[in-house]
Chain A
Amino acid sequence: MNLSTLLLIILAGSAVAYFIGYTRSQQIAKPIGGVRHLATLPTYYASMMTLWALIPALLLVFFWSVLDGAIIDSLVKSSLPQEAKRLSEENLGLIMSQVSNVASGIGSIDVLGQEYAPAVERLVSLTAISQRAMPLLAFCVLVLGALMGFRAVRATNNARYTVEKIFNVAIFVCSSIAIFTTFGIVFSVLFESIHFFQKVPFFDFLLGTHWSPQIAIRADQAGASGSFGVIPLIVGTLLISMIALSIAVPVGLMSAIYLSEYATSKTRSIVKPMLEILAGVPTVVYGFFAALTVAPAIRHYGDQLRVWGADNDITWLANLAVSSESALATGMVMGVMIIPFVSSLSDDVINAVPQSLRDGSYALGATQSETIKKVVFPAALPGIVGGVLLAASRAIGETMIVVMAAGLAANLTVNPLEAVTTVTVQIVTLLVGDQEFDSAKTLAAFALGLFLFVITLALNVIALKVVKKYREQYD
């Protein structure tokens, strides 16, 4: 019997338990004068009985599935021939996988040798037992649990208390999944980073100005220095983020002000969803828009400027060099991408400014633009800053556009017309393709990931602090 059938049976069983619990509580209620003489409602008794039946059975299935492999393994190991037990960890694992192959009918026992036959037989029989025993046991547990639940259906027993307690535990488990996942990610990245920092000194990483992660595989290999200075990546990331923000913040803010203060409700109902469509465009689409449309256009205009500069003897223009993978193109497109973040968050905080403040300003004879500049905007400023910081952490973490449009050259430059690379791009290139997971090159990706995580976390914390401060202002 496979797992899904078993789960279906368990669910069906608990549905039956629900029905029985409901009927039973009604039965109890009748002689004592109706449902209102029970400690709680029949649905709670029914739910309680369902949970009694369902939870132990599910737990059994879960732990059985997780543990039975390990238990069977250790039992099989004990029936291996003596010489196999003396083997090293890796070789033993190899033997075990061969045993399990033979047991499931792939390959013949002759490859292993007849002395392994008992182990194979043992594995076959144990697996068969496990497969038969689990459903049987699960069913027994289900029935037993239901019986326990049935006994708890009494007029004086407040089943609601039990049900709500279990429900509390369940929702707590759900909410902690996200938290534990975050911790899991942090720790996995952290441990790999520690491995990396055992190979590369921490300060070489943090303060180095040269990024060239190729490591020589042969001693005589040329052009593979393997230096891991993160500064060029940071500068590239910040450069692109700054360009993006310098587009997104003014445009987003102005559109938020227009939408919340000037637009008629009809215009607003059309324009706001349109703006939010921008947020729904996949970043990969922005990526090829940047790489195939914006970047060539910028280079084209840059070339024309250079020609014009050469004709008119303007030296600095004549020397203008525009890379086809420029930070400018990437930043501009990324800026367009985060406009909805800024505008939608700013719109919310501007709308949250009480109308009474606007009325107060109008009543003093202020015009609409004076009111916005001097009252609404300052009042909304902390919230707007929060929104901008969230947009900034989005820009720093953005990967797809930069991978496609910014290039891989780790130049340490602040010239937006040159190609730069970012932390995220390097993580992608370090991990794409076949990699050995113990070289400094691969581990560097984790260190970069940790670094990025710390930066965006800091930005988010600041953003939340600012937003929180703002919330306290009117109360």
Chain B
Amino acid sequence: MNKAQQSMAEIVKETYQTVGLPLLDDPKIRVRNANVFYADKQAIFDVNLDIGKNQVISMIGPSGCGKSTFLRCLNRMNDTIDICRVEGDLLLEDEDMYDKKIDVVELRARVGMVFQKPNPFPKSIYENVAYGARIHGLTDNKVQLDELVETSLIRCGLWKEVKDRLNEPATGLSGGQQQRLCIARAIAVNPEVILMDEPCSALDPIATATVEELIHELSENFTICIVTHSMQQAARVSQRTAYFHLGKLIEVNDTSQVFTNPEHQLTEAYITGRIG
């Protein structure tokens, strides 16, 4: 840590209170006093945040600030990490996601996720999209399944590119196409929320623009949480922006306000490039 960062760390320690408007009326996801630990190390500190229905919220912050960890709490992907422990109330439509009675499989069907690196299964393009529908029994016959695959691919703008090679391996697609396929795979299950963990960081600018456009279109029907390192991307795709710093949620505001008139000095330092 350099001197500037050190002094910033002190600021966080002394005055930890999320500024801006973290809470909403009638949100999709409600997070209260969330704390996350990896073994003994605390990664997320007392986060309170509401995520609005059919809104795009982006989470920004320096590397290691806990934004990805926080995102993975929202569909319990952290369950796959043995040493990870989540405390606090995380509610999806007023249901506690971490309740023992909640079926994590069903939760993840409602809260889908797209990862940083495109991770198509080593199967055909068709099978990738049909995967979720098959395991959840969403369709009754081949015709319905075909239809579902087609609409999912159309919504992701991939249909024209792949309709003649649905049975070819998905690993043969380009990086951008693979990522859009992963999004198609996620929306084929018809989730309510889609979590995106730096979905464009492995893509070139043109593929990034396509995916951003897609996010914009999807926000009409889905609630989307996107973690990103690109402030321009956050500004382009999201309505609200949350700034994380060292595991703490510093500021949540409308995106336009965060980038033009940040309330907290740390947010300002980050978006002007003084820390990062």
What is the interface of chain A, defined by CB distance below 8 A to chain B? 264-265, 354, 356-367, 370, 374-375, 378-379, 473-474
Query: Does B122 contact A379, Cβ atoms closer than 8 Å?
Result: yes
The answer to whether A363 and B121 touch (CB under 8 A), given A358-B80, A474-B171, is no
Contact between A364 and B108, CB atoms less than 8 A apart: yes
**Are A359 and B119 within 8 A (Cβ)?**
yes
CB atoms of B112 and A363 under 8 A apart: yes
Say whether B121 contacts A365, CB under 8 Å.
no
Which residues of B are found within 8 Å of A473, using beta-carbon distances? 122, 171
Is A365 in contact with B115, judged by CB distance below 8 angstroms? no
Q: Complex Cα distance A370/B185, Å?
A: 16
Shortest CB-to-CB span from B238 to chain A, Å, is: 21
Contact B80 A379 (CB under 8 A): no
Contact of B121 among A264, A265, A361, A367 (CB under 8 A): A361
B175 is an interface residue with CB less than 8 A from chain A: no
Determine whether the beta carbon of B185 is less than 8 Å from that of A365.
no
B80 touches A378 (CB 8 A): no
A365 and B135 contact, Cβ closer than 8 Å, known pairs A356-B117, A379-B121: yes
Residue of A nearest to B189 (CB): A364
Residues of A within 8 A of B13 (CB): none
Nearest-Cβ distance from residue B170 to partner chain A, whole angstroms: 11
Which A residue's beta carbon lies closest to that of B136?
A365
Which of these, A357, A363, A367, A370, contacts B77 with CB under 8 Å? A363
Determine the distance from Cα of A5 to Cα of B189 in the docked complex, in whole angstroms. Answer: 80
Q: Which of B152-174 contact A (CB under 8 A)?
A: 171
Q: Which residues of B contact A361 (CB under 8 A)?
A: 121, 131
Q: Assess the A374–B135 pair: CB atoms within 8 A.
A: yes
Q: Measured between alpha carbons, how far is A362 from B108 in the docked complex, in Å?
A: 7
| 29 pairs from A and B in contact (CB 8 Å cutoff) | A265-B82, A356-B117, A357-B122, A358-B80, A359-B77, A359-B113, A359-B115, A361-B121, A362-B80, A363-B75, A363-B112, A363-B114, A363-B186, A364-B112, A364-B132, A364-B135, A364-B189, A365-B105, A365-B106, A365-B109, A365-B189, A366-B132, A366-B135, A367-B105, A374-B121, A374-B131, A375-B121, A379-B122, A474-B122
What does the 1/0 interface line of B106-130 toward A look like (CB < 8 Å)?
A: 1111001111010111110000000
CB distance from B75 to the nearest CB of A (A): 7
Instruction: Flag if B105 contacts A366 (CB, 8 Å).
Output: yes
B182 at the interface (CB under 8 A from A): yes
Contacts of B122 in A (CB 8 A): 357, 378-379, 473-474
Would you list the 6 A-B pairs with minimal beta carbon distance, nearest first? A365-B109, A363-B113, A356-B119, A365-B108, A364-B132, A360-B119
Once bound together, how far apart are the Cα atoms of A358 and B75, in whole Å? 15
| A378 neighbours in B (Cβ, 8 Å) | 121-123
CB interface residues, B 66-116, toward A, < 8 Å: 75, 77, 80, 82, 105-109, 112-115
B173 to chain A, nearest CB (A): 14
Within the complex, the shortest CB–CB distance from A220 to chain B, in Å, comes to 69
Report A166 CB to chain B, min CB distance, Å: 46
Task: Please name all residues of chain B whose beta carbon is closer than 8 Å to the beta carbon of A366 when the two chains form the complex.
Answer: 105, 131-132, 135
Please, how many angstroms separate the alpha-carbon atoms of A360 and B181 in the complex? Answer: 12
A364 and B119 contacting across the interface, CB-CB below 8 Å: no
- For A356, A365, A367, the residue with the greatest tally of chain B CB atoms inside 10 Å of its CB is A365
Given the complex of chains A and B, what is the CA–CA distance between A365 and B107 in angstroms?
A: 7
Complex interface: chain B residues within 8 A of A474 (CB): 122, 171
User: How many angstroms from the CA of A363 to the CA of B112 in the assembled complex?
Assistant: 6
* B108: chain A residues within 8 A (beta carbon): 362-365
Residues of A within 8 A of B107 (CB): 365
Whole-angstrom distance between the alpha carbons of A357 and B120 in the complex? 7
Distance from A433 Cβ to chain B, minimum over Cβ atoms (Å) = 55
Q: How far is the CA of A365 from the CA of B112 in the complex (A)?
A: 8
Q: Which residue of A lies closest to B75 (CB)?
A: A363
Give the distance to chain A from B74, nearest Cβ to Cβ, in Å: 11
For B109, list chain A residues within 8 Å (CB). Answer: 364-365
Task: Please tell me which one of the listed residues B75, B82, B106, B115 contacts residue A360 in the complex, with CB atoms under 8 A apart.
Answer: B115
Chain A residues in 8 Å Cβ range of B75? 363
Give the residue name and chain of the B residue nearest to A264 (CB): B82
Given contacts A360-B115, A365-B106, 7 further A-B contacts (CB under 8 A): A265-B82, A357-B119, A360-B119, A363-B108, A364-B109, A365-B107, A378-B121
List B residues 34-49 near A (Cβ within 8 Å).
none
Known contacts A370-B135, A374-B131, A474-B171; decide if A363 and B115 are in contact (CB<8 Å): yes
Q: For chain B, residues 178 to 195, give those with C-beta under 8 angstroms from any C-beta of chain A.
A: 182, 185-186, 189
Nearest chain B residue, comparing its CB with the CB of A354: B119
Smallest CB separation, A431 vs chain B (Å): 48
A353 (CB) vs chain B CBs: closest residue: B122
Q: Which residues of B contact A357 (CB under 8 A)?
A: 119, 121-122
CA separation between A220 and B109, bound complex, in Å?
A: 84
Q: Are A364 and B115 in contact (CB under 8 A)?
A: no
Give chain A nearest CB distance to B86 CB in angstroms: 16
Least CB distance from A74 to B in Å reads: 68
For A358, the chain B residues whose CB sits under 8 A away are 80
Q: How far is the CA of A408 from the CA of B115 in the complex (A)?
A: 61
Alpha-carbon distance between A343 and B108 when the two chains are bound, in angstroms: 32
- What distance in Å separates the Cβ of B115 from its nearest Cβ neighbour in chain A? 6
Residue of B nearest to A375 (CB): B121
Q: What residues on A are CB-neighbors of B185 within 8 Å?
A: 360, 364
Contacts of A363 in B (CB 8 A): 75, 77, 108, 112-115, 186
List B residues 44-65 near A (Cβ within 8 Å): none
Minimum distance in angstroms from A358 CB to a CB of chain B: 7
Given contacts A359-B119, A379-B122, whether A364 and B186 have CB atoms under 8 Å apart is yes
Contacts of B106 in A (CB 8 A): 365
A380 to chain B, nearest CB (A): 10
Report the separation of the CA atoms of residues A366 and B107 in the bound assembly, to the nearest whole angstrom.
11
Q: Are the C-beta atoms of A365 and B119 separated by less than 8 Å?
A: no
For residue A362, which residues in chain B have a CB less than 8 angstroms away from its CB?
77, 80, 108
Q: How far is the CA of A238 from the CA of B22 in the complex (A)?
A: 70
Q: Which chain A residue has the least Cβ–Cβ distance from B113?
A: A363
Set of chain B residues within 8 Å of A265, measured between Cβ atoms? 82
CA distance A323 to B64 in the complex (A): 69
Collect the chain B residues with CB atoms within 8 Å of residue A370's CB: 135
Contact A365 B80 (CB under 8 A): no
Q: Which residue of A360, A366, A375, A378 has the most chain B CB atoms within 10 A of its CB atom?
A: A360
Cα-based distance from A366 to B135 in the complex (angstroms): 7
CA distance A358 to B122 in the complex (A): 12
A361 to B189, CA, bound (A): 12
Question: What is the bound-complex CA distance between A18 and B115, given in angstroms?
Answer: 59
Q: Which of A360, A365, A367, A379 contacts B182 (CB 8 A)?
A: A360
